Amino acid sequence: MYAKGLTDVGKTRNQNQDAIFYSAEQVGPLPNLCIVADGMGGHNAGEVASKTAINCMRDYILDFNADVAWFIQPDDYLDLMINAAQNAGKAVNKMAEGNPNMAGMGTTLTACVVADGKITIAHIGDSRVYAVSQDNIKQLTTDHTYVQGLLMYGKITAEEARVHPKRHVITRALGIADTCEIDGYVIPLDDTKTIMLCSDGLSNMIEDDELKQIINSAGYAEDRVQVLVDEANNKGGLDNISAILVDIGR
């Protein structure tokens, strides 16, 4: 597999509150790891939250007890990732409580590992993971937003959800409390060619069919991820934009 990511401030924001991490190589006991985080909060707080969450999650995994790390199997990846995400949430929350300027800060966090014919995902917030095959694109995560709740209960249509005035209201995020509920997924890769992780600054700007077309276009992952960011900016760049492409390379 091969991974490449990019984050961009966009056209309307003064600072980039997104943060990313990606490695196609071993990260502690994990064979690879990709993370997208989209921070929220006052001046600088969102940027601090997203970077802190990613650094803490990565370090937790890197520092995982060496005496048992060798014993970790693919079935154990999800527990390790969720524990690492929860630990990151505690760190963000502690930092917020210790600094009035950062009170209430938090972040989305979406992480994945690709191994053993499966994708393992830990997720909170409204950043996303997509699986892209030659013919299809599928969102693998469920947004933790007010609008997603309306959509799930049939109160609005998908078309209405895309333009709803409260579509940015997040119902679950990392760090806003000492503990948080992290969603976990283990999904077969099947015919997936590419995995994409992204913040809502990308998914809100580009329709799924166009995402699929760009991701499946010829070229290296770094070229295609640049096209994704450029296209989101061409359409207005209303938020920070982050994307990671993971080419499975069967």
| Domain-embedded: residue 183 | yes
Mean model confidence pLDDT for the chain = 91
Q: Where are the alpha helices (DSSP H) in the chain?
A: 45-62, 66-69, 77-97, 146-152, 158-163, 200-203, 208-215, 221-234
Q: Where are the alpha helices (DSSP H) in 63-176?
A: 66-69, 77-97, 146-152, 158-163
More confident residue, 99 or 202: 202
| Domain-embedded: residue 159 | no
**pLDDT single digits (tens) 66-108:** 666 667 888 899 999 999 999 999 999 999 998 888 888 999 9
Give the pLDDT of residue 49: 96
Give the pLDDT of residue 44: 76
Q: Identify which of 231, 185, 188 has the alpha carbon closest to the alpha carbon of residue 85.
A: 185
| Domain-embedded: residue 149 | no
| Domain-embedded: residue 156 | no
Q: Identify which of 87, 82, 235, 79 has the alpha carbon closest to the alpha carbon of residue 162.
A: 235
Residue 240 belongs to domain with CATH number:
3.60.40.10
**Reported pTM:** 0.93
| Domain-embedded: residue 164 | no
| Domain-embedded: residue 163 | no
Mean pLDDT across 14-32:
96
Q: Which domain holds residue 213?
A: 2-143+169-247
State yes or no: pLDDT of 190 exceeds 70.
Answer: yes
Q: Identify which of 20, 3, 4 has the alpha carbon closest to the alpha carbon of residue 241.
A: 20
Q: What percentage of residues in the chain have a pLDDT greater than 90?
A: 76
State yes or no: pLDDT of 236 exceeds 70.
Answer: yes
| Domain-embedded: residue 162 | no
Please, what is the Cα angle at 66 between 63 and 72, to 5 degrees? 100
Q: Where are the alpha helices (DSSP H) in 122-244?
A: 146-152, 158-163, 200-203, 208-215, 221-234
State yes or no: pLDDT of 250 exceeds 60.
Answer: no
Distance CA 95, CA 192 (A): 39
Beta bridge partners of 128: 198
How many structural domains is the chain composed of?
1
More confident residue, 76 or 43: 76
| Domain-embedded: residue 209 | yes
Give the pLDDT of residue 108: 97
